[in-house]
Structure 1
């Protein structure tokens, strides 16, 4: 493999690490997905250790997470006891899986926290300056709750889109080619 292709692969793997870290996932998970994505053939855990430079335990843990998110798929090879992995290349499906995972875990918790805070403010027996502060808190928390409720509905809608609508959405967001 030429130095330029090696550099391109390394740069992509680093970029995927940054993206996954930004979204709250381990950097190694992004690096592993990047290495699998740019592999024309299924990749074993041992190969991923060499490509990404993290321990086999870390590779194994992160590959399981990627599998759970539907970002990679295990492929068995006849006569070989090792597991091999291929990347999911349907990015709309990956986005749906990630939204579903995040929506179920983090977003649900955030919604509950805002709601509980709003209930605490509503039950507070405040007078004087505290009454003004309680009204301020209530207004701010209600605005946040309204936004989160809208966002939750949007995410639920995206998660529930079927393939036909996803393809239409994909075409809508794809850059058009000028003649």
Structure 2
């Protein structure tokens, strides 16, 4: 009887961990990732040892190519890192245990890219509107252009503020204002 109870306990444990991995997978869309990449991260996070692509493929029943693509995406986001084991020839990977670090890196990378693009687009739109303004003799169009240039300048001010916010996140300064929760199990 005790052996049967141990089997049930392990089954309940695995079910609980799998349920949480599904939560991670579901939430990966917030980071622009697919749920399969989220499952990969969750599997690595709960692994006791670093895993090879073959280990991941076996655990998730996905292709080695999918595992490689997922690991690369997670690595780019600093959520997974390669690790080495003396005498072991295959590439090993482990999850980044510091979710705060992963978030700040991911947030910074994603938001910086989009914000810089938005600033560039706003500048181009302003330049183009100025050209049209100088070419046109239509007073109504000139008024509309002036109004829209003001809107674009407002947008640029917002994007400049957002870049400051991104720097606060990336630098870790955010933790001076909102400290990390440091409770350990």
CA deviation profile, 1:88-123 (whole Å, cap 9, x unmatched): 111222122213422453332222112212222233
**How far 1:167 sits from its partner (Å)?**
5.9
**How far 1:175 sits from its partner (Å)?**
8.9
Match of 1:134 among 133, 145, 149: 145
Q: Secondary structure at the match of 1:124?
A: helix
**How far 1:173 sits from its partner (Å)?**
5.1
TM-score normalised per structure 1: 0.78
| 1:136–1:168 CA distance, 2 compared to 1 (3 A) | closer
Q: Secondary structure at the match of 2:33?
A: coil
Q: Is the 8 A contact 1:46 1:56 kept in 2?
A: yes
1:68 aligns with 2:79: no
| Distance in 2 of aligned mates of 1:96 and 1:18 | 20
Computing the radius of gyration over CA atoms, which structure comes out larger, 1 or 2?
A: 2
TM-score normalised per structure 2: 0.76
Aligned pairs for 1:20-169 within 5 A: 20-125=28-133, 126=136, 127-161=138-172, 168=176
Moved over 4 A (4+): 165-170
Q: Is the 8 A contact 1:36 1:87 kept in 2?
A: yes
Q: Is the 8 A contact 1:44 1:82 kept in 2?
A: yes
Q: Is the 8 A contact 1:92 1:166 kept in 2?
A: no
> How much is the aligned-residue C-alpha RMSD, in angstroms?
2.7
Number of aligned positions between the proteins = 172
**How far 1:169 sits from its partner (Å)?**
5.0
**How far 1:16 sits from its partner (Å)?**
2.4
| 1:168–1:133 CA distance, 2 compared to 1 (3 A) | closer
Q: Is the 8 A contact 1:121 1:134 kept in 2?
A: yes
Q: Which residue of 2 aligns with 1:9?
A: 17
Q: Is the 8 A contact 1:36 1:43 kept in 2?
A: yes
